[in-house]
Structure 1
Amino acid sequence: MRAVDIIQKKRDNETLTTEEITFLLDNYLKGNVPDYQMSSFLMAVYFNGMAKDELKVFTERMMHSGDIIKFEKITKFLVDKHSTGGVGDKTTIALAPIFACFDIGTAKLSGRGLGHTGGTIDKFESIKGFTFPETRDELVNLVNKTGIGIMGYSDKIVPLDKKLYSLRDVTATVPSIPLIASSIMSKKLAVYADGIILDVKVGSGAFMKNLEDAETLADTMIDIGDSFDRKVVAILTDMDQPLGFAVGNSLEIIEAIETLKGNGPKDFTELVKTLAAIALIIKGDETDIEVAKTKVDEVIHSGKALSHLKDFIRNCGGEEKIVDDYSYLKIAEKTYDFKAEKDGYVSKIEAESVGKAAMVLGAGRATKADIIDHSVGVVLEKKIGSKVKAGDVLAKIYYSKEETLNSSIEKLKEAFEISNEHLAERDVIIKIKKNF
C-alpha cells in the first residue's frame, strides 16, 4: 500500500477503505508519510469531504493515536460540554457548579486561550492561589469530592490531532467541516463522558460565520457521536455579539458568579440554563426542557450552585472569598469609557473586534508564549438593539498599560455600529439538535 495511491483515490472522490485510512494516519504519526503528502491528502478532503464511514474510521484512528481516558472511579454521571469558542464565553465557570447540584460530574480537559478567545484555564487562574489537578487521580478525587474537575490537556491525548492541525494551519485546510468535526470529536471521545453537549457558536465572533455551515458541522459531529454510541446534543448559539457583557479573565469570573447569584446577563443566563436543562435530559432526570429549566432556576436561587463553586475553588487552593468579595480578584485600576458619537440604536457589535480589543490589552495571547494579564478587559454597557444618545458609554475598558489603550479603542470603533434602525434583541439559542 502506498500513500500516493490513497491521495489519488481521495482526489478522485472515491471512498477510502478502513485499511487505507489506517495505513495513512498511522504512518503519518510514525513519520513514514511526509508532510507534503499529508498536505495533499488534506486538500483533497477539503474539496471532496468524507463519507460517514470514512469519517468514523478517521476519527477512531485520531482518537486511538494516544491515551484513552476512562474514569471508572468517578461515581457521578459525566457530561462533557464543549464550546467551539467565542468572545465572552465563560460558560463552564457557571455551568459546572449547576451540574454538581444534580450529581452530574464535570471531568474536563481544557486549554488555554490563543487569539481573541480566552480559555477556561486562563479564567480560573485569575483566582489567587488556584491550581488545577496535574494527574488523572487528582482529577478523579476532585470530581468525586466537588462534582467539578478541570485540568489542562495532555500531549498524550490525541497527539495526531495536534500534528494534523499544525499542518492544516499552514496549508489553508482548517475550514474543512469533516476535519473540524473529527478534531473536536476525537478529543471528546478519547476522554470518556456519558453525554456530550456541543455548543456550536455562529456569527462574526465564531469560527462558523453562517448558520448553514454551523448546522452542517453540528450534524457531522452528532453523526460521529452516534457511530460511537454516545449521546450527543448540539446547540447552535449566537456569536454575532459577545456573550454576556464581560470580556477578560477576572471580569468574566465576576460575571459568571453574578449569574449563579441570579443577576447574570439575560443571554448568558439563558444559555447556561438551557445547557444545564439539556444535561438533565441526557441523564434521564427530565424529558421536558422547560421543566428542567425550572429545576435549574431553583438551584441558582437557593444558592446551592454558588456553594458548589466555592467548594471547587477551595479544593483547588483558590481564595474562595472572591465569591462574596470581588476585591480579592485583581481588576485593572485604570479605566476608559468608550462612548457613542451619535444618537440611534446599536445595530452591530462585531464580537471578534471586541475580543481583539481585550486581547491587545493583555487579556488574550497573540502567541503561545504571551503572558496573560488577568486584570484587563472590556465590559459592554450596551447590546444590539439598545437605544443610545451621543455621549452614552458603550463599553468600559479596563487596562494596565497606557500603550495598549489606543489600540483597544480602535478595535472598539471597528466593533460598534449605530444606526437609526431599531433591531430586536437577539435570541442566544438558535437551534438544538440531538441523536437520541
Structure 2
Amino acid sequence: MTLPQEIIRRKRDGRRLSPEDIAEFAEGLASGSWSEGQVASLAMAIFLNGMDRTETVALTLAMRDSGKVLDWAALPGPVTDKHSTGGVGDNVSLMLAPIVAAAGAYVPMISGRGLGHTGGTLDKMESIAGYRSQPSQEDFEQALRTAGCAIIGQTSDLAPADRRLYAVRDVTATVESIPLITASILSKKLAAGLQSLVLDVKSGNGAFMATRRDAEALAKSLVEVAEGAGLSASALITDMNEPLATAAGNAVELLNAADFLTGKSRDQRLEKVTLALASEMLVKSGLAQDADQALDIARRVLDGGEAAERFGRMVRALGGPADFIDKAKKYLPSAPLQVPVYAAMEGYVGRIDTRGLGLAVVELGGGRRKPEDAVDHAVGLTRLLPVGTQVRRGEPLAIVHARSEGDAENAAENVRRAYEIVEGRPQLQEPVLKKITAEAS
C-alpha cells in the first residue's frame, strides 16, 4: 500500500499515476482513510497537471467500483441513458426518457439537482406532490419495468467515492478539470449499469463550457473515456446561447414538458434537441439502423401519445398522481404573482444573457446558492421570447412567477438586462452543432 502523500507527490511532479495508485485513492475516498486535505491536494495536482486517457479511465472505473453497480441483465431490452452538462430551460430529460422507453429501450435515469445558474432534473420532478425521487431499489426496478424509464436521484451506494470527491472539488476551485468532470459523470453512469450513453454537451453563454472549443474538448474526453471503460457512447454539442425551452424554473419546466408530450405546444429548439438525442440513443441501443429510421420512430411514439403514456406510468409508479399527464397544471404548484416583463423598445431579440436568466430564477428561490438550500418549485420564468423574435415596445419579453412584489421587480429587472433588442433580424443558430463519436474523436 502506497502512502497518500506519495501518490500526491507523483501527480504534483507531473508524473503519471498507475491504476494501483488510482484504486488506492478511490478506496481512500470511499472509506475515509484519505483526509480532506489529502483529497484536496490530489484534486489540485490533477487540476494543474491533468490526466491522460488511461489515468482517467482508471479513475472512472475505480470510482464506479467504490459502491454498488446495478445489473439490468434480466430486462428484455437495451439499457441506455443520456447526460447533459446543464443549461437554462433544459428540460429535455423529461421528454427524452419516455420517448426512448416507448421505442423499446429501458432508461434508468439517475439525475442530479440544480446548482449555480443551471436547473436540475430531480428538482423538476420533485415539483410533483408524492413523487419519490429516492425510492427503494425494489421500487426503482419496478418503475423501470412498468414504464421503461425511471427518473430518480443518486443513491448513497452508487459511486460514493465520486460524491466525496465532488464535494471537495466544489470548495477548492478544482471543479473545472476535464479529467475530473469526465470521471465524475461517467463513474455514476457506469454504476447505473448502462449499455450505451449519449452525452449532451452544452456550449454558449448559458453553459459551463462557454466556448465551442472547451465543449468539444469535454465531449471528446467523455466519449473516449466511456469507450475505454467499455461503455458505448457518443455526444452532441448543442447551443446554450439562449434558453432551450420557453420556461425556466421547476414546475414551469415540468408543465412545459407535459405540454410537449401531449402535443399541446412544443418549443421548436427544444423539439430539435430532444429528437436528435432520442435518435442517437435509439441508434446506439440497436433499436434503429440509422438516424433517419430512429427519428421516424421517435416522432411516431411522441405524436402517437405513447411517450406521454410512459411518462404517466413512471409518475404513478413512483408515487405521483395517476392522471398527472392529463392534468399536470392541477397538480403542480404555482406562484401567487405572475408579472409580465415589457420590452422598452421595438426590434428583434438579438442576444440573450442565458446565464443571467438562470441566475434570475435562482434569485426568485428556484435554484440554489449552496447544495443544502431549499428550492421553491413554483417560481420561475415563462413565455421567454427566443432570439430572432420581433417585438414591439410594451410587449412582454417574459412572465415572472414570484412569491412577492419585491422578488418580481428584481427578477423583471434581471430579465430586461438579459435581453438585447436590435434593429435588424439576427442570424439564427441551429441548436445541434456537432456530433462527436469515438471514431471522430
In which range does the TM-score fall when normalised by the shorter chain?
Answer: over 0.9
What residue is the counterpart of 2:54 in the other structure?
53
SS at match of 2:323: helix
1:276 Cα deviation from its structure 2 partner: 1.1
What residue is the counterpart of 1:119 in the other structure?
120
1:6 Cα deviation from its structure 2 partner: 2.8
Q: Percent identity?
A: 34
**Alignment match of 1:298 (pick from 294, 297, 300):** 300
Q: 1:260 to 1:27 in 2, by over 3 A?
A: closer
Summarize deviations over 1:45-100 as a string: whole Å, max 9, x none.
Answer: 21221111111112122111222222234333111111111111111211121112
What residue is the counterpart of 1:329 in the other structure?
332
- The 5-angstrom pairing of residues 217-296 of structure 1 reads 217-262=218-263, 263-296=265-298
Unaligned 5+ residue runs, structure 1? none
SS at match of 1:310: helix
Q: 1:79 to 1:415 in 2, by over 3 A?
A: same
Native 8 Å contact 2:309 2:325 kept in 1? no
One-letter code aligned to 1:9: R
**Alignment match of 2:316 (pick from 289, 304, 314):** 314
TM-score when normalising by structure 2? 0.93
Which whole-Å CA distance do the structure 2 matches of 1:62 and 1:410 have between them? 44
Native 8 Å contact 2:203 2:209 kept in 1? yes
1:409 Cα deviation from its structure 2 partner: 1.9
Q: 1:159 to 1:285 in 2, by over 3 A?
A: closer
Aligned length: 436
Q: 1:35 to 1:313 in 2, by over 3 A?
A: closer
Summarize deviations over 1:15-51 as a string: whole Å, max 9, x none.
Answer: 2222222334433544443333333322222122111
1:341 Cα deviation from its structure 2 partner: 0.9
4+ residue segments displaced more than 4 Å:
none
What residue is the counterpart of 2:10 in the other structure?
9
Summarize deviations over 1:122-174 as a string: whole Å, max 9, x none.
Answer: 21222233334621121111111111222221122112112212222222111
Native 8 Å contact 1:62 1:158 kept in 2? yes
Summarize deviations over 1:286-324 as a string: whole Å, max 9, x none.
Answer: 232133212211222222212222222233332243433
Summarize deviations over 1:378-427 as a string: whole Å, max 9, x none.
Answer: 01341112222221210111112233222212321331112234312221
What residue is the counterpart of 1:80 in the other structure?
81
Which whole-Å CA distance do the structure 2 matches of 1:293 and 1:143 have between them? 23
SS at match of 2:34: coil
Q: 1:290 to 1:205 in 2, by over 3 A?
A: same
Q: 1:169 to 1:311 in 2, by over 3 A?
A: closer
SS at match of 2:8: helix
One-letter code aligned to 2:272: E
SS at match of 1:378: strand
What residue is the counterpart of 1:196 in the other structure?
197
Range 129-138 or range 162-171, more displaced: 129-138
Which whole-Å CA distance do the structure 1 matches of 2:319 and 2:167 have between them? 35
1:211 Cα deviation from its structure 2 partner: 1.0
Native 8 Å contact 1:384 1:426 kept in 2? no
Which whole-Å CA distance do the structure 1 matches of 2:31 and 2:308 have between them? 47
Q: 1:75 to 1:170 in 2, by over 3 A?
A: same
Native 8 Å contact 1:356 1:408 kept in 2? no
TM-score when normalising by structure 1? 0.94
Which whole-Å CA distance do the structure 2 matches of 1:279 and 1:422 have between them? 35
Which whole-Å CA distance do the structure 2 matches of 1:34 and 1:374 have between them? 37
Native 8 Å contact 1:205 1:240 kept in 2? yes
One-letter code aligned to 1:306: A
Which whole-Å CA distance do the structure 2 matches of 1:328 and 1:168 have between them? 38
What residue is the counterpart of 2:208 in the other structure?
207
Which whole-Å CA distance do the structure 2 matches of 1:112 and 1:222 have between them? 23
